[in-house]
Structure 1
Amino acid sequence: MAMTRIRVGLLPSAVLMAGTMPAPKIKDPETGEIATDRDTGESLYTVTAMLIEDGRAEMMKVTVPQSGIPEGITPGRPLRPVDLFATPWARVFNGNLSDGVAYRAAALELVQ
């Protein structure tokens, strides 16, 4: 079953601020295997960012391929996501349903 991907359009006034340094996205915690892009095989990284839009702030984890991570990302640095998509997900683990939204961008750009 294909997952639904929804293109995310941010308001021009929206600010995305890096909260963490990019970290490798771990596919298997037991082996430490890093997740890779299904199509390109490129290593994936996650950046936890704060989205500030219309007076609201929300933490979001954005997955980005290694080539889409610019030099100079530091916590607090304003970012602009390129081709941001949201994928709703749900899974049952130990009888409990957990769900959320996974965010994926082709790249992050530093905002000057």
Structure 2
Amino acid sequence: MSNAFSRRIRSAAVVAACVAAVALVPAPAHASPLVLDVSCWPEGGLHYGCQVDTLSGGTAPYSITWLGGHAGQYSFIDTCNYGYRTQRATVTDATGAKVTDSVTYFCTDLG
């Protein structure tokens, strides 16, 4: 067997061993996509409250910002004139990934 041919066989065996070793290394875990669901409900009078019902995926910690500047899991609307309104929450996770959900509801004086 020639020296060159022997070196190619050994090189191929080394490459095959390296490929097999790499295949045994698990792929890095990736966070699942952010999932967000919000809802709003009447509080009485012209007051409505909104909250994050579902928040999953992504990478903690999360920040939640509501339309109008409120922060946190809950948002309360102090004045809700008669008619349709929309409230929106945006969640940002530790990696900067964002998801937004909104809910439209009908405001009425609940007395």
Output the TM-score relative to the length of structure 2: 0.21
More strand, by proportion: 1
Bigger RCO (CA 8 Å, 6+ sep): 1
> TM-score, normalised to structure 1's length?
0.21
